[in-house]
Amino acid sequence: MTPTRRALLATPVAVGVAAALAACADERSGTVGRVSDEATAETERITYGDDPSQWVDLHTPAGTSRGLVVVIHGGFWKAQYGADYGAPLAKDLVARGWTAANVEYRRVGNGGGFPETLDDVHAAIGAVAEGAAGPVVTLGHSAGGHLATWAAARGRFERWAGGPALTHVVSQAGVVDLRAAVRDHLGTDAALGFLGEPSEEAYEQADPMTQVPLEVPVWAVHARDDDTVPFSQSEDYVAAATDAGAEASLVEVEGGHFGVIDPDSSAWAACVEVLDGIG
């Protein structure tokens, strides 16, 4: 079992949504640098259902892929936030030699919520990961961190059984404790909006905290100065997971809630470092 790891990056990052969606620069920090020209990478839009929100942009690098990273955007499961939040990360990852799948899914307000959003994430992974060579990693921010972590346990439930298994999870400022999110009214009661009136069955099926220990390693990358999803979400999850015998690491960064999805930030560099250790 890998012990809890804390990696504190020294340079603060002040970033908002606009910076998080800025175009990727030519050079990025990270142990393994950008190895593929974005111009030679291929992008394919795959639809996995009839709803306009049921699609994945699959970015394939030139040459041999290091593995698949499934990018799942956040936004408190709400319809007004979409996959444009994940696009800069997918472009950076494909330039580093990864196959990157930027997932769109139904959210609260356009047909999503529990369990439909989970149905979509399961279907999207199945659409891109079946037969994938190398590691299959989910990487998600905020509510996407919830979905990325949940996806590693989805095969335990009959509704989502039979899909491709994951090998690793990277949660970026993830909402990984739904009971605490409901209690703390995160995102103006966003977790209640996602769950509806939550039952014990809903928590069992949807809450990553309820699903520890996972069978795959999890890295929870989070800034202590996050004023949107509290650092305690990741800290408590990693403590519970390691106590249960799981392989889980807490990677502490700076940059508030959005630093981890800014490809020019030290917080994103920490995510890249995690991935570099995987493939």
Q: Phi, psi at residue 49, to the nearest 5°? A: -175, 180
Mean pLDDT score across all residues of the chain:
89
* pTM, two decimal places: 0.88
> Burial code of 211-240, b = ≥16 C-beta within 10 A, e = fewer?
bbbbebbbbbbbbeebeebbbebbbbbbeb
Confidence band for 59, pLDDT divided at 50, 70 and 90: very high
Which pLDDT band holds residue 131 (cuts at 50, 70, 90)?
confident
Please tell me the distance from the alpha carbon of residue 30 to that of residue 164, in angstroms, as a whole number.
Answer: 29
Rounded average pLDDT over 132-148: 97
Question: Does residue 232 carry a pLDDT above 50?
Answer: yes
Looking at residue 228, what is its pLDDT? 98
What is the average pLDDT across 129-156? 97
- For residue range 72-102, list pLDDT tens digits in order: 999 999 999 999 999 999 999 999 999 999 9
**What's the rounded mean pLDDT across residues 141-169?**
98
Q: pLDDT-based confidence at 220, cuts 50/70/90?
A: very high
Give the model's pLDDT for residue 197: 87
All domains in the chain, ordered by first residue: 31-276 (3.40.50.1820)
Digit-coded pLDDT (tens) for 5-23: 333 332 333 333 333 333 3
